Structure 1
Amino acid sequence: MSDMKSGRPGNRVRLEDVAKLAGVSMKTVSNVVHDYPHVSATTRERVQAAIDQLGYRPNLTARTLATGRTGMLALAIPEIDQPYFADLARHIGEEATRRGYRIIVEQTLKDLEAERAVIRDREEGLVDGVIFQPVRIDTMEIARLRPDTPLVLLGEGARPLTADHVMIDNVAAARDGMDLLLRQGRRRIGFLGMVRRDPTQSTHLRLLGYQESLLAADAISDPALVVETDWFGVDDGITALRAALDAGARFDALFCRDDLFAMAALRVLDRAGLRVPDDVAVLGWDDTALARYSTPALSSISPDKAAIARTTLDLLEDRMAGFDGVGRHRTVAHAIAERDTTAVSG
């Protein structure tokens, strides 16, 4: 095998080139490429060595014609540079790779037409299944445009009975986070932030859990403690919280919609001379890298992203294998990653 040059300059490496180098039939090479189980370990190793040496890449069109599958999945998320979605995309990508798929990631930027395009089978024929976190499109429209390509929905947005759906219980997670703060004796707990013109359901569900916990604990429920922001960025959170402090709002804890707003809170509180957690405890949401590496390290509500990925791929593979039943709704676990910003001294 060492006598053959690697690849064929100027030409695409063919299946028959791999077969010749490995000393096997083209059918055997195809079986290895498609991971069929009835190939001996010795033969598989020899074929894989030839593939590696020649740099062979299976022809996608030929594979699709032979198997009816592309081996590709689409992941449509609102923003690829938002820390939570970046984390989620990594977990889904890793899980897909373990199962033999490749992932195409696209961002919809919370645009309604872009979301409609995902549902309208824009990827039909290119991918075997679609994982999609909708924001603006409504339930009825998803049901009406139900694609032929297998689909699993993520998040707290539209979820028709016809579609599979994976999420965490945002209200319950918010209550758990609030209970942590309330057990520490915090009573003036602010919510950062209530995003104006927010197209998502996440903020409203988290705010609901926050409010339910205050009522149940007979803690202070003051509208001035709910800090409104113009949008989702760190700068939006900084501007809004600074304005609230300047207007006289006082907190002994801040329950933040996500880790980005928690970063904003840490910056504003530090500039205001308020110590975290002694003067004001801070709790984020999403448990992203921002939480783990901030100073002080941020406590954060932690969705089980690995479980979201596994559950999503389980449902999608069922659909790809022919399951055509009603939509299945799966709620994945959450936890609270307690770090320095909610630590109790003493």
Structure 2
Amino acid sequence: MAGVRLQDVAERAGVSMKTVSNVVHHHPHVSASMRERVQRAIDELGYRPNALGRQLATGRTGLLALAFADVRLPYFSELANLVSRIAETTGTGYRLLLEETEGTLEGERAVLSTSEAGLVDGMLFQPAQISAREIAERHGDLPIVLLGEGSAPLTMDKVMIDNVAAAAAATRHIAALGRKRIAFLGHEAQALSSTSRLRILGYQEGLEQSGLVAEPAMLIASDAVSPTASARSLGAALDSGLRIDGLVCRDDLAAMGALRALHERGISIPDDVAVVGWDNIAFTETTFPSLTTVAPNLDQLARVALDMLVERIAGFDGLGRHRVVDFELVVRESAPAPLLASPPLDDAEFTAR
């Protein structure tokens, strides 16, 4: 309904305008029954708080930004959906704006300029290129919580998983299947991202922990983050004579490309080559074969990051808190559970699906 006022909601609910305002702004002292009564009136009338008026009254916009490389990448689209739902349903009342950086230094610098514009109350930001020093210099007074593997200023909060431990666990899982020639697929052909560096390090540690030797020839780079590019890179490596019996992929998109390249060459999965992906995106249950993959606990990551951001917005000014959230290896058909007992993998909880 157009033009619905705070007064209209108060009259419908039979309460004061102050009570409606308290409900709209999520003040904690409102009783559950009163909150439900006012919310029913809000829903019936279709009332929407005036953003400009709220900003003038509170100094806040009620908006948060989530900044990352590319919304077309399934991991980021699933993260955005989760953060948006949690922000709207956990009492904070925040709405979410998406900012794409295209994974470039220029794009990440541009995102930080929102601290000048006053468009949002805070930001969740997953950088790929910008340095910790530049983040500290550019973010101004805007509350920011960083996501992912990049370096972070000691004064800023960050939430991530342990990529080294996860990659090592994935590599040991393949080695426990008796595989000896385990490759890594999908990292950048040119400048490595922080994510790729850590995952390659974990892959190398997993090989060494399994008594295997890391070989540079087993690192198969890709010229883009896509199944097509990874299929092309793996296909070229196989056609040139590279022999592998296991494959740790930088992400699920690379793993999906690997499934295609292997299938086209008549290589059986997992009998000839066991494949592990990363991110547990929605498609991994329905690939053929279904994909074993590292699954970050996205729900935990989103909740921890949002909690810290809301605390920063409310005035918390302490040193940066760096939190590591859980992961698990979801075991499916592309790299099944070993038939024989193997050393325990301490770093992750394993789930067969």
Equivalents in 1 of 2:143, 2:171: separation in Å? 38
SS at match of 1:87: helix
Q: Give the number of equivalent residue pairs.
A: 337
| TM superposition shift of 1:40 | 4.9
SS at match of 2:268: coil
SS at match of 1:327: coil
**Equivalent in the alignment of 1:16:** 7
Query: Are 1:55 and 2:50 an aligned pair?
Result: no
Equivalents in 2 of 1:26, 1:307: separation in Å? 37
Give deviations 1:27-64, integer Å, cap 9, x for gaps. Answer: 22222222334445554444333322221111111112
Equivalents in 2 of 1:42, 1:215: separation in Å? 60
Q: Determine if contact 2:146/2:158 at 8 Å carries over to the other structure.
A: yes
Query: Which amino acid counterpart does residue 223 of structure 2 have in structure 1?
Result: D
Residue 188 to residue 52, structure 1, CA distance change in 2 (3 Å):
same
Q: Determine if contact 2:176/2:338 at 8 Å carries over to the other structure.
A: no
Alignment of 1:201-212 (within 5 A): 201-212=194-205
Query: Are 1:32 and 2:23 an aligned pair?
Result: yes
Q: Given the alignment, which residue of 112, 115, 119 partners 2:112? A: 119
Q: Determine if contact 1:153/1:166 at 8 Å carries over to the other structure.
A: yes
| TM superposition shift of 1:330 | 0.9
**Equivalent in the alignment of 2:58:** 67
SS at match of 1:302: strand
**Equivalent in the alignment of 1:79:** 70
Q: Given the alignment, which residue of 215, 218, 231 partners 1:222? A: 215
Q: Determine if contact 1:124/1:149 at 8 Å carries over to the other structure.
A: no
Q: Given the alignment, which residue of 244, 261, 273 partners 1:280? A: 273
Equivalents in 2 of 1:226, 1:41: separation in Å? 57
Alignment of 1:307-326 (within 5 A): 307-326=300-319
Equivalents in 2 of 1:206, 1:47: separation in Å? 50
Residue 75 to residue 276, structure 1, CA distance change in 2 (3 Å):
same
Query: Are 1:143 and 2:153 an aligned pair?
Result: no
Gaps of 5+ in 1: 1-6
Bigger-Rg structure (1/2): 1
Q: Determine if contact 1:79/1:107 at 8 Å carries over to the other structure.
A: yes
Give deviations 1:239-285, integer Å, cap 9, x for gaps. Answer: 11111111011111111111001001111111111111111100001
Q: Determine if contact 1:297/1:340 at 8 Å carries over to the other structure.
A: yes
Q: Determine if contact 2:115/2:140 at 8 Å carries over to the other structure.
A: no
Gaps of 5+ in 2: 340-353
Equivalents in 1 of 2:31, 2:226: separation in Å? 54
Give deviations 1:174-197, integer Å, cap 9, x for gaps. Answer: 111111111111101011123212
SS at match of 2:114: coil
Q: Determine if contact 1:121/1:148 at 8 Å carries over to the other structure.
A: no
Q: Given the alignment, which residue of 149, 152, 158 partners 1:165? A: 158
| TM superposition shift of 1:295 | 1.4
Equivalents in 1 of 2:117, 2:85: separation in Å? 23
Equivalents in 2 of 1:19, 1:296: separation in Å? 57
Equivalents in 2 of 1:21, 1:32: separation in Å? 14
**Equivalent in the alignment of 1:253:** 246
Q: Determine if contact 1:165/1:329 at 8 Å carries over to the other structure.
A: yes
| TM superposition shift of 1:202 | 0.8
Which moved further from structure 2: 122-131 or 90-99? 122-131
**Equivalent in the alignment of 1:300:** 293
Equivalents in 1 of 2:326, 2:35: separation in Å? 39
Q: Given the alignment, which residue of 251, 256, 259 partners 1:263? A: 256
The percent of aligned pairs where both chains have the same amino acid is 50
Give deviations 1:75-114, integer Å, cap 9, x for gaps. Answer: 0011111111112112212221223221111111112222
SS at match of 2:334: helix
Residue 344 to residue 166, structure 1, CA distance change in 2 (3 Å):
closer
Q: Determine if contact 1:286/1:303 at 8 Å carries over to the other structure.
A: yes
Q: Given the alignment, which residue of 66, 75, 80 partners 1:89? A: 80
| TM superposition shift of 1:214 | 1.9
